[in-house]
Structure 1
Amino acid sequence: MSDPQTVSSAVAKLYDTYPFPPEPILDEPPPGYNWRWNWLAAYNFCTGRKPPKQDIRILDAGCGSGVGTEYLVHLNPQASVVGIDLSSGTLAIAKERCQRSGANRVEFHHLSLYDVEQLPGEFDLINCVGVLHHLPDPIRGIQALAKKLAPGGLMHIFVYGELGRWEIQLMQKAIALLQNEKRGDYRDGVKVGRQLFASLPENNRIVKRDKELWSLENHRDECFADMYVHPQEIDYNIDTLFELIDASGLEFIGFSNPGFWQIDRLLGKAPELRERAEALSDRQRYRLIELLDPEVTHYEFFLGRPPITKAYWSEDHTLLTAIPELNPCIEGFPSQCVFDYNYQIVNLSTAEFEFLQQCHGNSTVAEIVNTVQLGLDEVRKLIQQQLIILTPA
């Protein structure tokens, strides 16, 4: 299936049959947060500072049933949001979802990523999760989106990784073979896949991997269909991923799970090898990491359109004159034990806790440390942990 129009129709048919994601529709804002969808937290992650403005335009490119779109509206109270998707059936669910939860600063368009230039204006944040890898021509897709990104804007992308999805690829091919002339009948594909999983031995590698990672979500046919009977999927490795990124013409800012991409995690016990790894380029080092730890099921990362000004807080004067406030994506505060932006537990010292209690966005770091016994290096630790967001003087 190589004709782009045929592929697009097949993808739209899949999602009309099985709208995705299948999260329940609520009569209230969705629970929790994803910091990547919060403009303040995401901008801080990418630049080390608070964004200069919050009344931004956001595009959810390939919004599906509106799960991410709804978060984008609720997490960014000053933003206007646009959602586009190829499937009219899925869009209808997205509209109902946002209407029911009061996410009213959003408009939806039945539009392919390729045709995004039909939308007026530019966007400060473009969210494209789980979409590019389903396009027949992802490079054309990312280039179309890049043209709509405003200067200083950010793009958040999620695409599949081939190494961690190897067993999924095998099952996809097996289902396709057994479906034969029934390919494209997605309900039959789900039935064949379910029967395969039920009949394969328990110690089968594909069965074990599914149980380990996917089986909970795959109880729902929508998830099973999206994973195992999708008509179009391109999986990436670091080399092919950066071909896609380079084609966008945008700046690669970084992966949004930086902990995974630390070489020390794997070579900490071998200083000589670590030294050799440090001599590699960033991309070679990323490739080395995924070869040594081939669990990468997806890549999640930020791109930006210059000029993107990054803030550095190594100079005492710069830090002292900055105005701190709490990262909006921390939970459990006020308490000395909180969840950080990534839902990891952080235990605060008494002085750190007292400092954070005064981070209301109207006092400088100098004014707060005058009343709290906290040194500037400890303040820098709070910045590194992304518990606070700073506005430069």
Structure 2
Amino acid sequence: MDATDARLAAQYEAYPYPERDPREEARRLIVGSPSHLREIDHWIFGARRPAGQPLRALMAGGGSGDATIMLAQQMATAGRPGEVVWLDRSAAARKVAEARAAARGLGNIRFVTGSLLEAADHGRFDYIDCCGVLHHLPDPAAGLGALAAALAPGGGIGLMVYAPHGRTGVYMLQEALRLIAPDSEAPPARVEIARRLWKQAPQTAWLRRNPWITDHIEGGDAGLYDLLLNPRDVAFTVPQLAALIGRAGLRLRCFVEPLRYDPDRYLNDPKLRARTAGLDPIGRAALAEAICGNMGIHIAYATRDPAPEPDWENPAAVPLLRELDGPALARGLPKDGVLRVTFDGLTVGLPLPRLAAAILARVDGRRSIGAIGAELAANGVAPEAFRRDLAALRAALEPLNRLLLAAPDAGAP
């Protein structure tokens, strides 16, 4: 452990991150990416791994427990067997995460204090979460390599790292605070100075013009410290993250949401699209990152072995929606057939097929593709029209990370 790493460890003892109150577990489940059970089933396992097969998951750098609690609760609610292992070196964060698990009565979590560099000492894992950790390590490549070594055959990893363009303004204020709130001072004193500086920062400060970064406003002392006072904070562009994943012997499965990384979603000029067509997938994603400017993080799924593709041609496959209700979505579709979604201030229109409402009204996590097609056929819809419009609906909503396939024999989590 170098001096910077020691300061980082002290930070998370003083301010477990993110700031959470276990009493709030009775009111909400914090849900996000990576590590949503439906995403793991779809993107990592191609909706081919049986739901009844025990899932062994590792939360590497589990912090105060957001991903741990989310996945463990989703597994418990769905009756999915397996274990979620929380791994972190922060005793303070462990205390918060354990209290959150106790508040929910979750018995499928095991807590281990230690370093993710020794992840393989705890066995092999079908899925590993590493969210918001690699960018704080002295050697991110060594950290990701250690996690890759702990993967079971066919397993995968969900990653989140900082991205530079969407964090415009952050590093400027970090630089300012290194001058007037040095690392040698106690964390509470540094937090006080950081809050005073934020109040006094002029309107020209770039962070004031960046509405997508809010940890220093909404994240309490822990959020402010992590954003502006963190002793080691390295952001990754798309090519840098792809290279990091490759060096660990992993394969990039997808970014989340995949749609955001498609430059053709933002560029309609035929001459520009002719140029984007000549780029490889990483180049296309890098272009999207560079022209949008609002990506403050990158979320990605990666696997060691080639990830199986979800089989949308299988009539027994069960489509489901992530955090959306099919019938409600169907009733609310715009009359012009274009679904508009907004990512950090940027709105994208998604044209939907004619049968979108009829299909979505039947997507409930239980009906199979074959069953939905049969119901529509009974109402006079030709099978070829159903297949065509299902493919078009998938093309719109799967890259949005919303229309996915369930694990075989899975009920809706």
Offset at 1:391? 6.9
Counterparts of 1:310 and 1:219, CA distance in 2: 38
Give 1:238's aligned amino acid. V
Higher RCO (Cα < 8 Å, 6 or more apart)? 2
Secondary structure of the 1:154 match is strand
**What is the match of residue 351 of structure 1?**
358
Counterparts of 2:39 and 2:212, CA distance in 1: 31
Q: Find out whether 1:230 has 2:233 as its counterpart.
A: no
Question: In the alignment, is the contact (CA less than 8 A) between 2:47 and 2:406 conserved in 1?
Answer: yes
**Structure 1 runs not aligned, ≥5 long:** none
Q: Taking structure 1 as reference, are residues 69 and 362 closer, same or farther at Cα in structure 2, changes over 3 Å only?
A: same
Question: In the alignment, is the contact (CA less than 8 A) between 1:59 and 1:83 conserved in 2?
Answer: yes
Question: In the alignment, is the contact (CA less than 8 A) between 2:44 and 2:307 conserved in 1?
Answer: no
Question: In the alignment, is the contact (CA less than 8 A) between 1:40 and 1:50 conserved in 2?
Answer: no
Q: Deviations over 1:161-182 (max 9, x none)?
A: 12222311111111111124x5
Question: In the alignment, is the contact (CA less than 8 A) between 1:354 and 1:372 conserved in 2?
Answer: no
Q: Find out whether 1:379 has 2:378 as its counterpart.
A: no
**What is the match of residue 258 of structure 1?**
258
Alignment of 1:113-262 (within 5 A): 113-120=116-123, 122-180=124-182, 183=184, 185-209=186-210, 213-214=213-214, 217-218=217-218, 220-262=220-262
Offset at 1:303? 0.1
Q: Taking structure 1 as reference, are residues 364 and 390 closer, same or farther at Cα in structure 2, changes over 3 Å only?
A: farther
**What is the match of residue 9 of structure 1?**
6
Question: In the alignment, is the contact (CA less than 8 A) between 2:216 and 2:227 conserved in 1?
Answer: no
CA RMSD of aligned residues (A): 3.1
Deviates further, 135-144 or 46-55: 46-55
Q: Deviations over 1:205-237 (max 9, x none)?
A: 33333x563167446111000101111111112
Q: Taking structure 1 as reference, are residues 372 and 134 closer, same or farther at Cα in structure 2, changes over 3 Å only?
A: farther
Offset at 1:287? 2.3
Counterparts of 1:202 and 1:343, CA distance in 2: 26
**Structure 2 runs not aligned, ≥5 long:** 334-338, 344-348
Counterparts of 2:285 and 2:168, CA distance in 1: 19
Counterparts of 2:14 and 2:356, CA distance in 1: 53
Counterparts of 1:96 and 1:69, CA distance in 2: 12
Counterparts of 1:49 and 1:59, CA distance in 2: 20
Question: In the alignment, is the contact (CA less than 8 A) between 1:160 and 1:236 conserved in 2?
Answer: yes
Question: In the alignment, is the contact (CA less than 8 A) between 2:156 and 2:304 conserved in 1?
Answer: yes
**What is the match of residue 325 of structure 2?**
332
**What is the match of residue 323 of structure 1?**
317
Give 1:93's aligned amino acid. V
Give 1:267's aligned amino acid. L
- Give the length in aligned residue pairs: 379
Offset at 1:247? 1.1
Q: Taking structure 1 as reference, are residues 49 and 183 closer, same or farther at Cα in structure 2, changes over 3 Å only?
A: same
**What is the match of residue 336 of structure 2?**
none
Q: Deviations over 1:3-60 (max 9, x none)?
A: x343332212101111111122135373363364233333324565353345201111
Deviates further, 197-206 or 146-155: 197-206
**What is the match of residue 107 of structure 2?**
104
Give 1:20's aligned amino acid. Y
Alignment of 1:294-305 (within 5 A): 294-305=293-304
Q: Deviations over 1:140-198 (max 9, x none)?
A: 00000001111221211000112222311111111111124x53522222112112122
Compute the TM-score of the two structures, normalised by the length of structure 2: 0.81
Secondary structure of the 1:302 match is strand
Q: Taking structure 1 as reference, are residues 144 and 358 closer, same or farther at Cα in structure 2, changes over 3 Å only?
A: closer
Offset at 1:305? 2.0
Compute the TM-score of the two structures, normalised by the length of structure 1: 0.85
Q: Deviations over 1:239-271 (max 9, x none)?
A: 322221111101111101112111123321x21
Secondary structure of the 1:356 match is coil
Give 2:324's aligned amino acid. E
2:90 aligned residue (87, 90, 95): 87
